């Protein structure tokens, strides 16, 4: 009986500490570390929700850009920060991919962080040069399989998300694809537009969408799980290639060991901020849509992607530049 009373007292104390942590948090400004330079996609997204988050949590939200080493500098910084919710990381899928390409990144994506929430996603889209004789994805796959020398595709660089995603698409469809890396997305759009490559799987940009509207590129599919408002009317790739999804997600991670009560408080505040229709309208022109998740859902996404991208990287012997 005495042991039961001690256990009950300990449980009550633990619950009280968790409740206090949630009620007291935050006690000082919150820093969101962005692994990329100011003005980029990640930076712009954080600046869209930082004021709303600050109002709900009652403390200033500071954006700290720490670019470099494919996001590893920022990831290391947050992984080593005090696990109290006052220092957060706003990465994309790269936080998972970088350690798979380089074992010297200095962090373990699954062990060193505690997921807070997926916040947004940007779907990849498949475009081809206008000379490719296909008007839909099914016809394109037939054409590609019959091409004697296979097809060439562009990416924004070796080991980029576009490189990995297209390699995975090729493996799932049995296509023979030759990777041609370029420097940046603008160069890949031009390569597809001029016919240097026949296909491109990338995130939508205003330049690329303009080329589609002018008829210089054909958009055959979007790699979101469901039809996307980013490219209305474009069919999903998984309607032809089951289970193929390629979306760049952005989310919040906290240092491992951050109390669940604090994680849940941030998640709840972010849900309220991201439910704004005005914010969704501001995101749409950037190619992003709100995609709020629970901490457990983001953890599942990270674990699943860790396994799938490791398989792609190993199978194709992909190395970082």
Predicted confidence pLDDT, tens digits, the chain (321 residues)? 554 554 555 555 554 555 555 579 999 999 999 999 999 899 999 999 999 999 999 999 999 999 999 899 999 999 999 999 999 999 999 999 999 999 899 999 999 999 999 999 999 999 999 999 999 999 999 999 999 889 999 999 999 999 999 999 999 999 999 999 998 888 999 999 999 999 999 999 888 899 999 999 999 999 999 999 999 999 999 999 999 999 999 999 999 999 999 999 999 999 999 999 999 999 999 899 999 999 999 999 999 999 999 999 999 898 887
DSSP structural state of residue 285 = G
Q: Identify the pLDDT of residue 23.
A: 72
Domains 14-121+249-315 and 125-239 share a fold: yes
CA 77 to CA 90: how far, in whole Å?
12
Q: Enumerate the domain spans of the chain.
A: 14-121+249-315, 125-239
Q: Identify the pLDDT of residue 258.
A: 98
The fold of the 14-121+249-315 domain, in CATH, is: D-Maltodextrin-Binding Protein; domain 2 (3.40.190)
Q: Are 66 and 75 in contact (CB under 8 A)?
A: no
Q: Identify the pLDDT of residue 22.
A: 56
Please give the distance of CA 149 from its chain centroid, rounded to a whole number: 33
CA 201 to CA 48: how far, in whole Å?
27
The correct CATH number of 125-239 out of 3.40.190.10, 3.30.70.1880, 3.40.50.1220, 3.40.50.300 is: 3.40.190.10
CA 291 to CA 251: how far, in whole Å?
9
Q: Which two three-digit tokens encode residue 57?
A: 């949590």
Q: Which two three-digit tokens encode residue 60?
A: 């200033």
Q: Are strands 30-34 and 61-65 parallel, antiparallel or unpaired?
A: parallel
Q: Identify the pLDDT of residue 184.
A: 84
Q: Identify the pLDDT of residue 89.
A: 98
Burial per residue of 192-228, b for 16 or more beta-carbon CB atoms within 10 angstroms, e otherwise: bbeeebbbbbbbbbeebbebbeeebbbbbbbbbeeeb
Element containing residue 24 per DSSP (H, E):
helix 2-24
């Amino acid at each position: 009986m005495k042991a039961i009373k001690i256990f009950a007292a300990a449980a009550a104390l633990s619950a009280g500490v968790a409740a206090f942590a949630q009620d007291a948090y935050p006690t000082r400004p919150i820093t969101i570390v962005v692994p990329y330079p100011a003005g980029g996609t990640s930076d712009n997204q954080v600046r869209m929700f930082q004021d709303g988050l600050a109002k709900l949590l009652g403390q200033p939200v500071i954006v700290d850009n720490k670019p470099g080493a494919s996001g590893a500098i920022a990831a290391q910084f947050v992984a080593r920060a005090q696990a109290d919710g006052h220092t957060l990381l706003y990465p994309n899928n790269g936080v998972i991919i970088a350690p798979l390409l380089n074992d010297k990144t200095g962090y373990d994506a699954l062990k060193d962080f505690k997921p807070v929430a997926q916040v947004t996603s940007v779907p990849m889209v498949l475009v081809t040069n206008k000379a490719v004789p296909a008007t839909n994805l099914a016809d394109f796959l037939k054409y590609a399989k019959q091409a004697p020398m296979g097809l060439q595709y562009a990416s924004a660089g070796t080991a980029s998300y576009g490189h990995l995603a297209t390699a995975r698409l090729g493996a799932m469809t049995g296509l023979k694809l030759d990777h041609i890396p370029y420097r940046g997305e603008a160069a890949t759009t031009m390569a597809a537009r001029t016919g240097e490559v026949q296909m491109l799987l990338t995130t939508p940009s205003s330049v690329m969408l303009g080329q589609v509207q002018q008829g210089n590129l054909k958009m055959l599919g979007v790699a979101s799980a469901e039809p996307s408002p980013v490219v209305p009317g474009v069919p999903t790739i998984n309607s032809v290639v089951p289970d193929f999804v390629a979306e760049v997600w952005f989310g919040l991670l906290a240092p491992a060991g951050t109390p669940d009560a604090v994680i849940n408080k941030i998640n709840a505040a972010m849900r309220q901020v991201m439910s704004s229709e005005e914010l969704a309208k501001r995101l749409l022109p950037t190619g992003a849509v709100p995609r709020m998740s629970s901490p457990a859902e983001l953890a599942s996404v990270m674990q699943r992607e860790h396994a799938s991208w490791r398989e792609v990287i190993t199978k194709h012997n992909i190395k970082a530049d």
